Amino acid sequence: MSIDYLIIGAGFSGAVLAERIATQLNKKVLVIERRKHIGGNCYDEKNEANILIHKYGPHLFHTNNKKVIDYLSQFTKWQPYEHKVLAHINGDNIPIPFNFNSIEALFDTHKAQTLINKLLAHYSKNSKIPILTLKKSVDSDLKFLADYIYDKVFRNYTAKQWGIHPDKLDTSVTARVPVFIGRDNRYFNDTYQQIPNKGYTHLFKTMLNHPNITLMLNTEYKDICKLKKDTFYLFNKKFEGKLIYTGQVDELFDFKFGKLSYRSTYMEFETLNQKQYQNATTINYPNDYTFTRITEFKHIHLSQSNQTTILKEYPQMHIQGKNTPYYPIFTEKNKIQYNQYKIYAKTIPNLILVGRLAEYQYFDMDDAIENALEKFKQLRKE
Ligand code: UDP
Instruction: Name the band, by pLDDT with cuts 50, 70 and 90, for residue 382.
Output: confident
Average pLDDT, the chain: 97
Which residue segments constitute the domains of the chain, with CATH numbers given?
Answer: 5-43+198-257+327-381 (3.40.50.720), 97-180 (no CATH)
What's the 167 CA to ligand 1 centre distance in angstroms?
15
Strands 293-296 and 308-317: antiparallel
Residue 145 Cα to ligand 1 midpoint, Å, equals 19
Residue 105: name the closest of 97, 94, 119 by CA: 94
- pLDDT given for residue 245 in this prediction: 98
Write out pLDDT tens, residues 117-171: 999 999 999 999 999 999 999 999 999 999 999 999 999 999 999 999 888 999 9
The residue nearest atom 9 of ligand 1, judged by CA position, is 174
Mean pLDDT of 107-116: 98
Beta pairing, strands 327-328 & 262-272:
antiparallel
Ligand 1 pocket check for 179: Cβ under 6 Å? no
pTM of the predicted structure, to 2 decimals: 0.96
pLDDT in tens, 81-102: 999 999 999 999 999 999 999 9
* CB of 56 shorter than 6 A to ligand 1: no
Spatial separation of the C-alpha atoms in residues 226 and 243, rounded to whole Å? 11
- Pick the atom of ligand 1 nearest to 293's CA: 8
Q: Which residues contact 233 (CB under 8 A, 6 or more apart)?
A: 225, 226, 227, 239
The number of beta carbons lying within 10 Å of the beta carbon of residue 354 is: 26
Model pLDDT for residues 18-64, shown as the tens digit of each residue: 999 999 999 999 999 999 999 999 999 999 999 999 999 999 999 99
CB 132, CB 178: distance < 8 Å: no
**228-275 residue pLDDT tens:** 989 999 999 999 999 999 999 999 999 999 999 999 999 999 999 999
**Closest-lying ligand 1 atom to the alpha carbon of residue 177:** 14
Ligand 1 contact via 154 beta carbon (within 6 Å)? yes
In this prediction, residue 299 carries a pLDDT of 97
Question: 231 C-alpha to center of ligand 1: Å?
Answer: 40
Model pLDDT, residue 1? 66
For ligand 1, whether the C-beta of 176 sits within 6 Å is: yes
295 lines ligand 1 (CB under 6 A): no
Q: What is the pLDDT of residue 243?
A: 98
